[in-house]
Amino acid sequence: MVSPTRYAKSGDLHIAYQVAGESDISLVHVPTWMGQIEVLVEEPSVETFIARVCSYARVISFDRRGAGLSDPWLGVPTLEEQMDDVLAVMEATGTERAALMASLEGGPLAMLLAATHPDRVSSLILYCTFSRSRWAPDYDWVPPDEERDARIAATVAQWGQGGVPLALAPSKAGDPAFADWAGRMERYSASPGTMSKIMAAIGKTDVRHVLPSIRVPTLIMHRREDPFMKVEHSRYLAEHIPGARYVELEGTDSLFSVGDSESILGEIEEFLTGARQEPEPDRVLATVLFTDICGSTERAAVLGDRAWRELLERHDRVVGREVTRHRGRAVKFTGDGVLATFDGPARAIRAATAIGEEVRRLGIEIRAGLHTGECEVMRADVGGMAVHIGARVMARAGPGEVLVSSTVKDLVVGSGIEFAERGEHELKGVPGEWRLFAVE
């Protein structure tokens, strides 16, 4: 889907870029400085998001000068120099006119380009961005300078551990795979010293005077409860960009591809094409595994917040490792458990028992439930009756018990896995009586 990384010449510098999809509609993604185009799409939610947009648009991505795969930059580039970089990428890809999509500190660059070159910019999509990031008497919803400087210092001190992407995606808290990707994104984007200079420069950016000059169609989106980038930023943009369409969404994530990304995708598609198409769910046969830590509330109260959080992180690492080792996919971590899918019920059972044995060494008991059935796969999530049944089966399990439906038991005949019958049960919200079996 994505072309190999190529380079556009902007003055004396080389700007790395990629192109994905084929369409008469071109969309240039103006990124943040924290990124590297090849690592970016290693996160499944980002890859899926871009794939959806590629169904109706040609998506052009690049790394900012001084970051990722683009040439390093000793100083901090001006917005004017960075506009030249975007135009150079457009020239290299044969793009006469394109829509721009930007978030976070990519926003000011995209806004200035749209105002300065309306002949090259067909429309503007802004998600979770700002016109300035420092406190002012008439811009007083941002932290004061002392607090902002302290945050930058703390970020630089821990650079490379994934703190920024994790702060941008609170719904991904407890997901070891996302945390690993987040750390790589920071390390591959720039060094701590470079990012310190960049973050200081971002604080000096102020494009408020540009907003009334933006005359291209503009879509602005923001999640209402975002703790990282306050919604007041986008409300200000909507009030000062003539004719802008403003959409306030539910959720807390600053990263566009996580949380309820479907709402964002729908708004973008309708804005660019005039209509939105609901994706057809893929249906696959899979074995669904749910796990849950027994007595988690009581244990958390005894340990305290910090010790409990550390224990959960160790639990999540064990779960993620065992799911992967048994060829499964951790769909989501649920705070004190996981929803995972497998292409074979025997592997799912063995993963569940291995998780139980490993976390027992941490002083934790889990319960697990499995069911095999047809699931709806919608991007990074799964749904359907099979998922509900798996959750209800787990709810019937006792501490240390791996409970399965009769469907799972029948499918692993000959595997050597033994079961003990647990009788017939009503599963809340599921029709009929269900025979359940415990793995011995």
Tens of pLDDT, residues 376-413? 876 667 888 899 999 999 999 999 999 999 999 999 89
Containing 218, the helix (H) or strand (E) segment is strand 218-223
Domain ranges across the chain: 6-273, 282-439
Residue in 13, 137, 129 with CA at minimum distance from that of residue 70: 13
Q: CA 123, 128, 134, 140 torsion: positive or negative?
A: positive
φ, ψ of residue 237 in degrees (nearest 5) = -60, -45
Contact between residue 88 and residue 70 where contact means Cβ atoms under 8 Å apart: no
**Whole-number percent of the chain with pLDDT over 70:** 98
Q: 282-439: which CATH architecture?
A: 2-Layer Sandwich (3.30)
Q: 280-306: string of b/e by CB count within 10 Å (b at 16+)?
A: eeeeeebbbbbbbbbebeebbeeeeee
pLDDT of residue 378: 66
Residue 151 has pLDDT above 90, yes or no: no
Q: Which residues pair with 366 in a beta bridge?
A: 293
Q: Nearest 5 degrees, angle CA 83-CA 89-CA 92?
A: 140
The domain 6-273 is classified under which CATH number: 3.40.50.1820, 3.40.109.10, 3.30.70.920, 3.40.800.20? Answer: 3.40.50.1820
Per-residue pLDDT at 136 exceeds 80: yes
Q: Could you tell me the two tokens for 189?
A: 């984007």
| Over residues 209-220, mean pLDDT | 96
Do the two domains 6-273 and 282-439 of this chain adopt the same fold? Answer: no
- Please report the pLDDT score of residue 350 as a whole number: 95
Spell out the residues 6+ positions from residue 98 whose beta carbon is closer than 8 angstroms to its own.
Answer: 26, 27, 28, 60, 90, 120, 121, 122
1 vs 171 pLDDT, higher one: 171
Asked if 369 contacts 393 with a C-beta cutoff of 8 angstroms, the reply is yes
% of the chain residues with pLDDT over 90: 59
The tens digit of pLDDT for each residue in 34-68 reads: 889 999 988 888 888 898 899 899 999 999 998 99
Q: How far apart are CA 386 and CA 375, in angstroms?
A: 6
The Cα–Cα gap between 331 and 337 comes to 11
Is the distance from CB of 102 to CB of 224 less than 8 angstroms? Answer: no
User: Which residue type, as a one-letter code, is found at position 378?
Assistant: M
Using CA atoms, how far apart are residues 246 and 377, in angstroms rounded to an integer?
A: 30
Q: Distance between CA 10 and CA 65 in Å, rounded?
A: 9
Cβ count within 10 A of residue 265: 20
Dihedral sign computed on CA atoms, order 151, 153, 158, 164:
positive
Q: Which residue has the higher pLDDT, 283 or 219?
A: 219
pLDDT at residue 379 in the model: 61
Given this model, what pLDDT does residue 172 score?
Answer: 86
How crowded is residue 416: how many other Cβ atoms within 10 Å of its Cβ? 6
Number of H helices, E strands in the chain: 15, 16
Q: Which residues contact 80 (CB under 8 A, 6 or more apart)?
A: none
Strand partners, 371: 288
Give the lowest-confidence range in 95-99, 170-174, 340-344. 170-174
Lowest-confidence region among 21-25, 241-245, 301-305: 301-305
- What is the C-alpha separation between 14 and 238, in angstroms, rounded? 34
